[in-house]
Amino acid sequence: MQALESKISTAGRVLGSDILKVDSFLNHQIDPELMWAMGQDFAQHFAQAGITKVLTVESSGIAPAVMTGLALNVPVVFARKSKSRILAEEAYLADVYSYTKESQQTIRVDQRFLSKNDRLLLIDDFLANGQALLGLKSLADQAGATIVGTGIVIEKSFQPGRQAAAKAGLNNIYSLARIAAFENGQVVFDQTAAE
């Protein structure tokens, strides 16, 4: 997606060899216009898939997921990372290891919000190692829901996330920007883009 690639080039900052900081427009301060355009792009791509719900994980997945849900006119569910005192006991749980944060977290969704009749679109901000996606897939599987596709804002295609997801059966992954490498502090986009 051209507008996203331009924003990454002008406002993103490369940290070390493998991290892109996008907190000025994606995951701390948010550019609503760009976020809405991304939601519309995801919605258009998956328009024929019969999606009943969008599923993401807090916190950075929520903004693109809400825009996508708005464009598709379907509800959005986000997996929580912290156990709420008022969250019902009946929750689907999955353990997610974050390589970036070097920690393991349990994500959870109240069983009332996912069902075997759902056709889910998974949305997340980054695809790096794929652990978040595997956790979301586990939640969907426990509910007996069908995953019809996955939308990613920024995929780092030099990391193993896509392969890990494919191995687990997540094949229909559509990324708005794919990054092939970071070279001398600059982002090199993978121009085989999209899917």
Instruction: Give the footprint of ligand G4P on this chain (CB under 6 A).
Output: 19-22, 27, 57, 59-61, 98-101, 125-132, 161
Specify the residue, 29 or 117, whose C-beta has the smaller distance to ligand G4P: 29
Q: How far is the CB of 61 from ligand G4P (least distance, A)?
A: 6
Specify the residue, 98 or 142, whose C-beta has the smaller distance to ligand G4P: 98
Specify the residue, 52 or 97, whose C-beta has the smaller distance to ligand G4P: 97
Instruction: Return contacts of 88-91, CB within 8 angstroms, 24+ apart.
Output: 88/112
Q: How far is the CB of 142 from ligand G4P (least distance, A)?
A: 19
Q: How far is the CB of 116 from ligand G4P (least distance, A)?
A: 26
Partnered with residue 187 across adjacent β-strands are: 182
What residue spans of the chain are helical by DSSP H? 2-11, 32-45, 62-72, 131-143, 161-167
Specify the residue, 60 or 175, whose C-beta has the smaller distance to ligand G4P: 60
Q: How far is the CB of 47 from ligand G4P (least distance, A)?
A: 26
- Distance between CA atoms of 110 and 79, rounded to whole angstroms? 8
Return the amino acid letter for 45.
H
Report angle CA 27, 56, 116 to the nearest 5 degrees: 175
